Amino acid sequence: MNILLIYPEFPDTFWSFKHALEFVRKRAALPPLGLLTVAAMLPQEWSTRLVDTNVRDLTKKDLAWADCAFISAMLVQRESARRLIARCKEAGLKIVAGGPLFTNEHAQFEGVDHFILNEAELTLPAFLNDLAQGRPQRLYASTEFADLRQTPVPRWDLLDLKRYACMSIQFSRGCPFACDFCNVTALLGRRVRIKTSRQIIAELDSLYAQGWRNEIFFVDDNFIGNKQFLKTDLLPALIAWRQGKRGIVFNTETSVNLAQDVPLMEMMVKAGFNKVFIGIETPDEACLAECGKHQNKNRNLVEDVKRIQRAGLQVQGGFIVGFDSDLPSIFQRQIDFIQKSGIVTAMVGMLQAPPGTRLYERMKLEGRLRGELSGDNVDGTTNIIPAMSLEALRKGYKDILQHIYAPKQYYQRIRTFLREFKPPQTSTPFRCAHLLALIRSFYQLGIVGQERFHYWYLLLWTQFRHPRLFPEAITLAIYGYHFRKICKQHVN
């Protein structure tokens, strides 16, 4: 059987990095890890082909070759998924669908023949067994959680690696916290399930054997959910694996309590981690209590961020406005926090209620749900009726974006970060892509861009004050170009 694995296109979003990727001639930030893992679970005698529509078009030849299409998607890929399903149906293909979009909204996709919902390690085998016996059902779901020790190595060989800026890998699923707006615990549970270090090294070996020598993103929702295992097992294994492998660096998502564990931060940096995304959400204690973000309460969050930066980890942050406890002053407080902390990559969104969360159930009970979830954290939309007027929320939200991504404030924030950041004493190998990005930034940012004064000042300031951080300065300047493009779409 010929299986066509199809990944829908992402719209132009904050995390797509579409406009930044143009500087290094890449087509997508990350590969479709879910589909690559599913591909490894299919019968070996089947032929498989991956079409990630973020890096190339789905062709008539692809459709003519295939017997069946497997599609996986997130909410933000909803419209692209609909178009792909229509094309596959027109071509006469059987369609199998899974992933977060279909787990939440499978009833809205009549054109799909079979749904493989929840975690594929549990539901895909039952479908394959029924298919082999000629009696596949339409829907396969499970309330159980998978044993990740049974998860196979993803099929990296299906990728055109040169099209991607970063690879992705998964160590754990689940999160020990239960923030009421987050659907991670609803989908994946509060018990942190992990792969063995041997599995992770095998996946890295496989990726390295394919020729990958660049950044790798651990997609875990909270990488430090099992600190003891990290310290005694995984991080020592990563430290040993990276010996002699120049160019490989890691980034991931963690909770802010990382800041209080200096030995863990030191080990992560030694293992090759250089960035972490942290859900800060809000500097307001009442709002943190409201949403159950107890791990962020009673802390000096600005100092926590700076402590992580000084350890050698750039902090990327998530922020939310629209909590019931928010006062009109929250918009300026968010701006002040972001600027003072030096969080350059600051994702600010309006509060949304994903299905399955406690927030969703509360909004439903109070009759405050409105429309469907967009899946885009920074498009200035919300699927709830906020306590403050929607007009005031939208205006305050736009004010934040206009301020923090204006050239003056954005470049000021880069310098705030670079003053704190203490990277390890290791060098990243120079690549042609780095030179290409630098030259393009000279023109796009330094000559024709509205930020040209701030751009040249940053380069001179960095060269004289922190010359070792010159690559970081260029990278963050390019990111700013992308972020301003995205913000302009939602502010105007």
d(CA 10, CA 12): 7
**For the domain 148-420, what is the CATH code?**
3.80.30.20
pLDDT at 428: 63
Q: Is 99 left (phi over 0), alpha (psi -120 to 50) or beta?
A: left
Of 319, 460, 325, which is closest to residue 397 (Cα–Cα)?
Answer: 319
253 and 292 in contact (C-beta within 8 Å)?
no
Estimate to the nearest angstrom the gap between the alpha carbon of 38 and the chain centroid: 19
Cβ-based burial of 300 (10 A; exposed 0-12, middle 13-18, buried ≥19): exposed
Instruction: Give the pLDDT score at 93.
Output: 98
Contact criterion met (CB below 8 Å) for 450 and 458? no
In the sheet that 47-52 helps form, which strands lie side by side, from edge to edge?
Answer: 47-52, 2-7, 68-72, 94-98, 114-116, 139-140
Q: What number does CATH give the domain 2-140? A: 3.40.50
231 alpha-carbon distance from chain centroid? 24
* Alpha carbon distance 404, 290 (integer Å): 26
Distance CA 183, CA 190 (A): 11
> Strands 193-194 and 172-173: what pairing?
antiparallel
Confidence of residue 429 (pLDDT cuts 50, 70, 90): low
Task: Parse the chain into domains and list their residue ranges.
Answer: 2-140, 148-420
Position 430 scores a pLDDT of: 62
Q: Are 81 and 8 in contact (CB under 8 A)?
A: yes
481: which 2 tokens?
Answer: 């170009």
Residues 211/162, Cβ–Cβ less than 8 Å: no
Query: Given this model, what pLDDT does residue 427 score?
Result: 58
pLDDT bin (cut points 50, 70, 90) of residue 288 is very high
Q: Tell me: the pLDDT tens digits for 155-173?
A: 999 999 999 999 999 999 9
CB 295 within 8 A of CB 280: no
Each residue's pLDDT tens digit, 329-340 = 999 999 999 999
Tens of pLDDT, residue by residue over 45-58, are 999 999 999 999 99
Q: How far apart are CA 367 and CA 98, in angstroms?
A: 30
Q: Is the pTM above the cut of 0.75?
A: yes
Length of the chain: 492
Q: Judge whether 395 and 442 are in contact, CB under 8 Å.
A: no
Q: Which helix (H) or strand (E) holds 331?
A: helix 330-341
425 or 356, higher pLDDT = 356
CA 70/CA 241 separation, integer angstroms: 34
User: Tens digits of per-residue pLDDT, 213-227?
Assistant: 999 999 999 999 999
| Nearest by Cα to 469 from 427, 413, 435, 434 | 427
Token pair recorded at residue 299: 């802390």
Nearest Cα to 396, choosing from 353, 359, 343, 350?
Answer: 350
For 467, the token pair is 């010359």
User: pLDDT value at position 424?
Assistant: 83
State how far the alpha carbon of 246 is from the alpha carbons of 166, 210, 236, 469, in Å.
15, 15, 17, 18
- H helices of 189-324, in order, are 197-209, 227-229, 235-241, 262-271, 285-290, 301-310
